[in-house]
Amino acid sequence: MRIIVTKDYEDMSKKAAAIIAAQVAEKPDCVLGLATGSTPIGTYKNLVEWYENGSLDFSQVRTVNLDEYRGLPRDNDQSYYYFMHDNLFNHVNIDEANTNVPDGTNPDADAECARYEALIASYGGQDLQLLGLGHNGHIGFNEPAQEFDKTTHCVDLQESTIEANKRFFASADDVPKQAYTMGIGTIMKAKKILVVANGEGKADIVAKAFFGPVTPEVPASILQFHPNVTIVVDEAAASKLPR
Ligand code: F6R
């Protein structure tokens, strides 16, 4: 586990983008596992800038996103499909056919999750998986639980996650209650993992996830067992790490 502490959000975003750019340079047809949420927005901004100035080429890159709300149509501006197009895909030369987000509009949860898991396997898994960190330690939408979920599955979102995400919706009632998400097993199969976290609000969970006991009660703690994890955090999010 490598921990890179950066001065601030901008610096975190630049360093995380540099790690992703290095992956694309090293293997132009790599499989990137991508995340949504507020944390990676700056990372995607840097990637778009580097594409625009000719330093990055996404023409052969394939992507698989971590998760999607169940029931939200793709054109809903809170869907993760919309987010990815708005923040990255619409601004770089990626082939739309090579981008993948679980289909939240497929009402058949079992079929959709099985399809998505098989798709990731057919790509040979993620070369690099980008992850944000939920305040309760969730990664993707793998919420604290009694055991680690292995493959892509349908989850009931926890009250705290609905609370955290309601800022994007008209009210908490409008936040979807379920999502399709890669499982912990799907995430752990990635060859490399890159975690980003910023701000004081993430300091407790960063310390707990990476220096506390490994338990499904803190889903991100499993990453301590992954052989190639880089954590890029700003000073505020790193403030409770052991010195
Ligand atoms: C997003 C995702 C979530 C977020 C997490 C942190 O695709 O899977 O696990 O990474 O909720 O969200 P932010 O970055 O908004 O704090």
Domain range summary for the chain, segments of one domain joined by +: 2-193+221-229
Has residue 171 got a pLDDT over 90?
A: no
Has residue 172 got a pLDDT over 90?
A: no
pLDDT by residue (tens digit) across 25-77? 999 999 999 999 999 999 999 999 999 999 999 999 999 999 999 999 999 99
Q: What is the CA radius of gyration of the chain?
A: 17
The DSSP code for 29 is: T
Task: Name the residues annotated as catalytic.
Answer: 67, 136, 138, 143
**pTM more than 0.95:** yes
pLDDT at site 165: 84
pLDDT at site 199: 98
C-alpha 34 to ligand 1 mean position (Å):
11
Closest CA to 87 of 43, 127, 130: 43
Nearest CA to ligand 1 atom 10: 132
Cα separation, 88 vs 182, in Å, equals 20
pLDDT at site 167: 87
Confirm or reject CATH 3.40.50.1360 for domain 2-193+221-229, answering yes or no: yes
C-alpha 220 to ligand 1 mean position (Å):
12
